[in-house]
Chains A and B, each alone.
Chain A
Amino acid sequence: MGKHVVVIGGGVAGLEVAGQLSKVGIQVSLIEKDSKTGGNLNKWYKLFPDRRKSSEVKEYLNGITANDGINLMTNTSIEMFNRHRDHFSIITSGGRELIADAIIVATGFDLFKSARKEEYGYGIYDNVITSADLEEMFSRGEISLINNTIPEKIGIIHCVGSRDEKVGNFYCSKLCCVTAVKQAIEIREFLPESKVFCFYMDMRMGGVFYEELYREAQEQWGVSFIRGKVSEVSETIDNQLLIKVEDTLAGRPLKMKFDLLVLMAGMEMSEGGRKIAGIGGLRTGENRFFAANDNHFGSNISNIEGVFYAGTCTAPMNITETISHARAAVIEVIDYLKDSN
């Protein structure tokens, strides 16, 4: 009785964890570094595969976290935490000490910083944007170029910061392919006169209804998919973007001009997560995400007793998987608190 759990991170996983823990009567302190909760969900307008508005998911999360059992601390981060015999002492950036029986780390992911792929010219060429920038355009209800004209030909580049040894990310972020397909459809919806081309290395359509969405993009929206990793982007004199890619299925190099290029930024361990790993001595994997104790039946369990993981701080996940993973973390915590009584 009277158990207290600190949840670090107020994104999808953190909110789900906090909501479910408070449901069973556990006191929760939810710590969020930003001024509001929601994390990366706030950047997205609509979600794959059914293109529901992200605000609906936020409404659900706000609903389950709106109760007295949750102490939400925004604009707060963790400076230090120590494990004592049967509890944790946590010092916040505000200098407050929290005493907790368990900790759930839900620090999520950061989008890959696309400027690191210098050859794509993000931050240098005016009309190179990221998937997140495009979502913002969707939210505003307009897709336009820097000179306020409407793009006619749009290229989408997959695997920006994923499966790329040069930026230190061997892994597949696994959600960018379906994001590309979703955004390609949305662009065609917004701009019926436009032509959209996706440049991919492999189409990784492993999720529920992903392949169906891919097929819809081809069949109903006429989106073209060209297999090849774009290796260079440059700007022409009339401000178009010229790309160099191999059309690997034709076996020949291809050059093509675009009005707008959208980079499918991958997912990386968040900066906040890296900091927590450092101060808490939490083990991380080769991919820099938190390393779970067991890949099959311990994906919420860390190397420190009483510290658990929820969501994309352990690996790229979609929202469905994140919520499932968060619920699993709740079960692990309840189990732990029962035993530690």
Chain B
Amino acid sequence: MDKFGFTISEGRQIDYESNDRRIAEYIFDREPSFRLCIECGGCSATCTTGNFTDFSLRELNILIKRGENEQVREKLKKCMLCGKCNLVCPRGVNTRNIVVLAKKAFQKSDEYAI
């Protein structure tokens, strides 16, 4: 603001209660293996996109589960659905389907539509 020369900083805490986690629930219902992720990062290490951009499927899983939808919507676009992550996952998570389901959940143009 002109008057003071600064504005009030926004917090960067994840506020779990106020976030909308319907997309996570949508995926949990359709792909139960989504719950099994142990955040090892194997998917991200092998990911073509992740090696050239800041895309990380491991991080994406967390952000979906916390309801950080603004970020998820942008990051989701980077996945090329090659499926290499599926091959490496030690917990048998159907990683590719998680991305597909997330894309479906976002496909309408409304705010975090499902």
Contacts and interface: CB of A to CB of B under 8 A. Distances in A.
A and B touch in the complex (CB under 8 A): yes
Interface of A: 203, 215, 218-219, 222, 224-225, 227, 247, 249-250, 252-257
B32 A219 contact: yes
Nearest to B13: A253
Contact of B14 (A218, A253, A257): A253
Interface stretch (B45-53, B63-71, B78-86, B97-105): B63-71
A250 B62 contact: yes
Interface stretch (B1-9, B34-42, B106-114): B34-42
B27 to A, nearest CB: 13
Q: Size class of B's contact patch?
A: 20 to 34
B20 interface: no
Contacts of B12: 252-253
Contacts of B36: 215, 218-219
Given A249-B58, A249-B62, A254-B66, A203 B15 contact: no
B17 A247 contact: no
The secondary structure that dominates the A interface is: strand
Contact of B16 (A203, A218, A249, A256): A256
A203 B91 CA distance: 15
21 contacts: A203-B38, A215-B36, A218-B36, A219-B33, A222-B28, A222-B35, A247-B62, A247-B66, A249-B39, A249-B59, A250-B14, A250-B59, A250-B63, A252-B14, A253-B13, A254-B14, A254-B16, A254-B66, A255-B16, A257-B16, A257-B17
Nearest to A218: B35
Nearest to B34: A218
Nearest to A227: B39
A310 B33 CA distance: 43
A252 B13 contact: yes
A244 B36 CA distance: 25
Contacts of B68: 250
Contacts of B59: 249-250
A91 B85 CA distance: 67
Nearest to A247: B14
Nearest to A256: B16
A255 B18 CA distance: 10
A219 B35 CA distance: 6
A158 B26 CA distance: 29
Given A203-B38, A219-B35, A222-B28, A255 B13 contact: yes
Contacts of A257: 16-17
A224 B91 CA distance: 15
Contact of A255 (B14, B32, B58): B14
B13 A254 contact: yes
A224 B13 CA distance: 19
Given A218-B36, A224-B65, 20 more contacts: A219-B35, A219-B36, A222-B28, A222-B35, A247-B62, A249-B39, A249-B59, A249-B62, A250-B59, A252-B12, A252-B13, A253-B12, A253-B14, A254-B14, A255-B13, A255-B14, A255-B16, A256-B16, A256-B17, A257-B17
A255 B62 contact: no
A254 B28 CA distance: 22
Nearest to A203: B38
